[in-house]
Amino acid sequence: MTRRLLFILTTLGPTAGAQWLNHPTPGIPRLPDGKPNLAAPAPRTSDGKPDLTGLWTGFGGVADLKLDDAQPWARALVQQRTDNFGKDNPRYLCLPEGPTAADGAEAMRRILQTPAIIAILANDLTYRQIFVDGRKLETDPSPNWMGYSVGRWDGDALVVESAGFNDRTWLARNYPHTESLHMTERYRRTDFGHLEIAATLQDPAAYSRPWTFRVSAQLAADTEMVDTRCDPAESGRQHWTGTISDAQKSSVKVAPEVLAKYVGVYKGVWARRPRVVEITLSDDALFVSAAGGAPQRLFPQSETLFSGANLGYNFIRDDHGMATDVFEIHVSGDYPLHRQK
């Protein structure tokens, strides 16, 4: 079985076509050694509002969504998407990723703030417009990929209401939604270099309760955003097997007492940010929750190698069979995570 989905993102490298990658950001506070002072007070606009303007990166997040919160049809679709390693994810089809597109430690977003509109530009060439001119959301807008957004200030927090999404995008890796999805976000610039976002999503047709996705981003100072362009002609998608058959699911059996020795919390670094993965055991099967996400089932390919959640996990054991580390396998490489407990 082909485990890795070979997805090629064509990016401009640091050549003449990629300008200002090491250009000092003007007008920002700096420490005595010249480094950006990310702990300085957050800037404000002329009318006293927090100024969210800046280039932001490291949108690693945590969702409190659980599979049991999904309606039966949504649970079945999550399982189907998990079984085929997310082969039909809009990302792999070079389509917009939708309302939770910022769920990626490697993502970059530029926020441009004016008194009437706030624009969020993404390095995948998508964008959002947040109107803060007092207008209300339409009750029945024509659905689109990024939805429609209006904002208001609640003290130092920007509150954004969004609706009008189509149902073609995915949430929290493999989860679906309907056109009834409504999203409420709160943006807070806690200091000069840090931005906190809490997004609460409601979709009763798909989930039994509202759930929240929390993101912490950091100012990307002294650099510039380089566009990441998806080229379907180079993705190699036509060669992806993309399906776990029932035979493959059952082709390797690992004893529950062996699986129990892999249970724990593992920490490491991925995309230059801390990465936390929790391995649990339920009904004689391993599940992984990466970066606080919903648990996803893992399927054994050998006694130590497992696949699922669009990734692979290779456990390293000591002489007693206890896992000490795990390599999380991405298309970009294998990343070591050390067991904490």
pLDDT on residue 252: 84
pLDDT on residue 28: 95
Using the predicted structure, report yes or no on whether residue 236 has a pLDDT greater than 90.
no
Task: Determine which of 154-168, 220-234, 238-252, 312-326 has the lowest per-residue pLDDT on average.
Answer: 238-252
Percent of the chain topping pLDDT 70? 83
pLDDT on residue 272: 67
Q: How many domains does the chain have?
A: 2
pLDDT on residue 123: 83
Rama region for 156: left / alpha / beta (φ>0; ψ in -120 to 50; rest)? alpha
Query: Which residue type is seen at 293?
Result: G
Residues 147, 261: one domain? no
Using the predicted structure, report yes or no on whether residue 184 has a pLDDT greater than 60.
yes
Residues 151, 17: one domain? yes
Residues 45, 150: one domain? yes
Residues 224, 250: one domain? no
- Cβ(113)–Cβ(46) below 8 Å: no
- The answer to the question of residue 238 being in a domain is no
- The answer to the question of residue 4 being in a domain is no
pLDDT on residue 257: 95
- The answer to the question of residue 236 being in a domain is no
Q: Which residues contact 59 (CB under 8 A, 6 or more apart)?
A: 102, 103, 104, 105, 107, 109, 215, 217
The mean pLDDT of 175-193, rounded to a whole number, is: 96
In whole angstroms, give the CA distance from residue 275 to residue 105: 10
Q: Confidence band (pLDDT; 50, 70, 90) for 173?
A: confident
**8 — phi, psi (to 5°)?**
-105, 120
Using the predicted structure, report yes or no on whether residue 235 has a pLDDT greater than 80.
no
Q: Which one has a higher pLDDT value, 99 or 321?
A: 321
In whole angstroms, give the CA distance from residue 36 to residue 268: 25
Give the number of other CB atoms < 10 A from CB of residue 66: 15
Residues 272, 203: one domain? no
- The answer to the question of residue 162 being in a domain is yes
- The answer to the question of residue 3 being in a domain is no
Using the predicted structure, report yes or no on whether residue 7 has a pLDDT greater than 90.
no
Last residue of a domain, one of 229, 257, 288: 229
- The answer to the question of residue 65 being in a domain is yes
Residues 60, 161: one domain? yes
- The answer to the question of residue 239 being in a domain is no
What CATH number has the domain bearing residue 300?
2.40.128.50
List the domain range (segments joined by +) for residue 280. Answer: 244-339
Residues 219, 303: one domain? no
Residues 76, 194: one domain? yes
Residues 125, 263: one domain? no
- The answer to the question of residue 235 being in a domain is no
Task: Determine which of 106-120, 143-157, 245-259, 324-338 has the lowest per-residue pLDDT on average.
Answer: 245-259
The mean pLDDT of 107-135, rounded to a whole number, is: 93
Kindly provide the residue ranges of all beta strands, DSSP E only, lying in 6-143, ordered along the sequence: 9-11, 54-63, 104-113, 117-122, 127-131
In whole angstroms, give the CA distance from residue 97 to residue 86: 13
In whole angstroms, give the CA distance from residue 161 to residue 131: 10
Q: Residue 296: beta bridge partners?
A: 288
Q: Which one has a higher pLDDT value, 236 or 209?
A: 209
Using the predicted structure, report yes or no on whether residue 92 has a pLDDT greater than 60.
yes
Last residue of a domain, one of 173, 205, 229: 229
Residues 137, 217: one domain? yes
Last residue of a domain, one of 170, 201, 229: 229
When the pLDDT of each residue in the chain is averaged and rounded to a whole number, the result is 84
Residues 99, 211: one domain? yes
Residues 82, 223: one domain? yes
